[in-house]
Amino acid sequence: MHKSLDGGQMAEGFSIGVLADRTGVTPTVLRTWENRFGFPMGTRSPSGHRRFSDADVDLVRQVQDLRSSGVSLGAAVDTVQRRHRRPDESVHAVLARDFPHLGRQRLGRRALVAASYAVEDEALARAERPLVLGSFQAGHRFAGQRHRWDELARTAAWAAVVAEFDDALPADPAASPALCQLPERSALRREWTVVTLTESRAALVSAWEVPTAAGATPVYESVISSHRPAAVAAARVLLGAARSAGASPAHGVDELLDAPAGPDTGAADADRLWLRALARLDRSG
C-alpha cells in the first residue's frame, strides 16, 4: 500500500508512470504493449485505474532482457507470460492434449524401468550436462534410485525430482537433485516420468498407473519418445511443480526450454537410446 504526500492511503500498487520510471519503458510504449499483447496486465483499482506491482516491474525487465538478446517483441512477451502462467499439473494430460499423434502403450514395470534406465544412462554417457527431471509416485520408490540420481545431478546442468516424500526421505528443494514435495491432490502422484534435455538431444519416458484390481500386476499407460517438443512440454510441467515446491532452477534452464524448436534427436542417437532399453530388458528377462 502506497501513501500520498499528505500521509493518506492510496490505492494498492502504483501507476503506469512509476512502472515506466522503474523499467525505462515509456508509458506510451507500455500502453502499446498492453493493447497488442495484453501485457503488462496489472490490476484495476476500484476507480478503474490500472495499478502495477513489483512483480510487473520484474516481468517487464524480463521482456527487455529477451529483446536485448535479439528476440522479437511478440516472442519475448509470449515467453515471459508462458513462464509465469499457472503450471499444468499432469505430464500425461499435456502429452495427450498437445501430442495426440504420439503412440501410447500399456506396459509393465519391467519395460518402463528399462526405458527409464536407458534415458538416464545415455545422459550419463554423453556428459553433455543435460537438464534432468523426474517424477516418482512416492519417495520410497525414488529412494532405491537415489544413487543413480545423485550421479545424474553431479553431471547435469540441473536435476530435480518431484514425488510424495515422507519422514524417511524428506523433501529438500535445495538439494542436488532438488527433492520437491507434490501437493496431496497432485495428479503427478500417480505418474512416472524421466526427461532429459540438451540443446541437441531430448528423451522422454512418461506413464501413469492404470487402476487395476487389488493384487493385480501394475500396468502403466506410457509414452516413450525422443520428440523434442514433447520432452520440452513434459519438462515444463515438472519444472512448474518443482518451482511451486520451492526449488530454484539453475541459470539457463528457462532459456533451454524457451529456445526455438530445433530438430528432433537424430535417428542414430534415438536408435542407440532404445537399444539400451532392449539390452536391459534382455538381461532381465
Structural domains in the chain, sorted by start: 16-83 (1.10.1660.10), 91-284 (no CATH)
Chain Cα centroid distance, residue 177? 15
Please indicate, yes or no, whether the overall pTM of this predicted structure exceeds 0.75: no
**106 with 219: CB under 8 angstroms?**
yes
Helix (H, G, I), strand (E, B) or coil at 29: helix
Amino acid residing at 121: D
Predicted confidence pLDDT, tens digits, the chain (285 residues)? 443 333 333 347 899 999 999 999 999 999 999 888 889 988 877 777 789 998 899 899 999 988 898 888 988 888 887 777 666 689 999 999 889 899 889 999 999 999 999 999 998 888 789 999 999 988 888 888 999 999 999 999 999 999 999 988 999 999 999 999 998 889 999 899 999 999 888 999 999 989 888 888 989 999 999 999 999 999 999 998 998 898 999 988 988 988 776 667 777 887 888 888 888 888 876
Q: The sheet that has 202-210: what strands, in order across it?
A: 105-107, 219-225, 202-210, 191-197, 131-135, 158-163, 178-181
Q: Is the peptide bond before 46 cis (omega within 30 degrees of 0)?
A: no
**Can you tell me the distance from the alpha carbon of 273 to that of 115, in angstroms, rounded to the nearest whole number?**
9
Q: What are the backbone dihedrals phi and psi of residue 181, each rounded to the nearest 5 degrees, phi first?
A: -75, 130
Buried-state track 93-108, b at ≥16 Cβ within 10 A, e below 16: ebbeeebeeeeeeebe
How would you classify the pairing of strands 202-210 and 191-197?
Answer: antiparallel
**Can you tell me the distance from the alpha carbon of 206 to that of 212, in angstroms, rounded to the nearest whole number?**
19
- pLDDT for residue 19: 94
Q: In whole angstroms, how far apart are CA 223 and each of 94, 117, 148, 236? A: 12, 15, 22, 16
